[in-house]
Homo-oligomer: A and B are copies of this chain.
Amino acid sequence: MRIARVIGSTIATIKNPRIEGTKLMLVQDTDESGKDLKSPPYAAIDLVDAGVGDLVLTCHGSAARQTHITKDTPTDAVINAVLDHLDVDGKRTFEKA
């Protein structure tokens, strides 16, 4: 799973019926301290009621459909955890505000 920050939301009136009603957030991959990487943001379906600013874990590929919300839907990315803290080599690199 990738470390990412929820940065915003997407609104799409026209979409595949199977993803109607899902909460499609915009996320930005970050490093272990929550600092943005230079990679482009992407959209992920939120499974854990994450809010803008939260550091989260995103899960990709067929893994993203292993939930009741996303089963059999054209979904390739979900948010499946809100991070409280990250520790690297014994030091806290991120702590939720």
A63-91 residues at the B interface, CB under 8 angstroms: 63-67, 72-78, 80-90
Q: A74-B67, A75-B59, A86-B26 are in contact. Are A47 and B8 (CB under 8 A)?
A: no
Number of copies: 5
User: Chain B residues with Cβ under 8 A from A60's Cβ?
Assistant: 76
User: Chain B residues with Cβ under 8 A from A81's Cβ?
Assistant: 10, 12, 14-16, 19, 24
A39 CB → nearest B CB, Å: 8
Taking residues whose C-beta sits less than 8 angstroms from the other chain, chain A's interface range is 35 or more
A57 CB → nearest B CB, Å: 5
User: Chain B residues with Cβ under 8 A from A90's Cβ?
Assistant: 8, 52
Q: Once the chains bind, are B66 and A63 in contact (CB under 8 Å)? A: no
